[in-house]
């Protein structure tokens, strides 16, 4: 990297340094911001790394579970209707979705947050 390319981003990062009241973006938006110099220097994104680590851990927990019976969260239309469907069998997995087979022999793809009983 040439210094001419880094200088504008370095000046912006210097202007965003922490003061007694925080940086201007934190005061304005109520959250911390990342400087564009991190993108240029290709620093890893900590938030994305935490998300990927969580997904890998949940996938490991999910693969070890036996038997692979899950319950699907259904849309509740009345007060006395059950929130979860009949048991379904797990067919295959992905990082965020699961392929399941219901007792009616239909297969469908559901998101992880819609399933219950996959960890226990």
DSSP state of 114: G
Angle, CA of 11, 12 and 14, to the nearest 5°: 65
Report yes or no: 55 and 95 within 8 Å, Cβ to Cβ: yes
pLDDT category of residue 35 using cuts at 50, 70 and 90:
low
- pLDDT of res. 120: 35
Examine the pLDDT at 90 and tell me if it is beyond 70: yes
Domains defined for the chain, CATH in brackets: 46-116 (2.30.30.140)
- Answering whether pTM is above 0.75, one says no
DSSP-derived secondary structure for 56-103: HHHHHHHHH-SS-EEEEB----STTS-SB-S-EEEEEE-SSEEEEE-T
Q: How many whole angstroms separate alpha carbon 31 and alpha carbon 115?
A: 32
């Amino acid at each position: 990297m040439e210094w001419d390319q880094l200088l504008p981003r370095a000046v912006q990062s210097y202007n965003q340094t922490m003061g007694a009241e925080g940086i201007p973006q934190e005061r304005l938006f109520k959250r911390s911001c990342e400087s564009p110099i991190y993108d240029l220097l290709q620093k890893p994104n900590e938030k994305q790394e935490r998300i990927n680590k969580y997904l890998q851990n949940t996938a490991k927990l999910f693969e070890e579970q036996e038997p692979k019976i899950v319950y699907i969260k259904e849309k509740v239309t009345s007060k006395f209707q059950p929130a979860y469907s009949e048991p379904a069998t797990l067919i295959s997995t992905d990082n965020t979705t699961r392929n399941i087979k219901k007792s009616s022999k239909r297969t469908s793809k559901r998101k992880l947050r819609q399933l219950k009983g996959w960890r226990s």
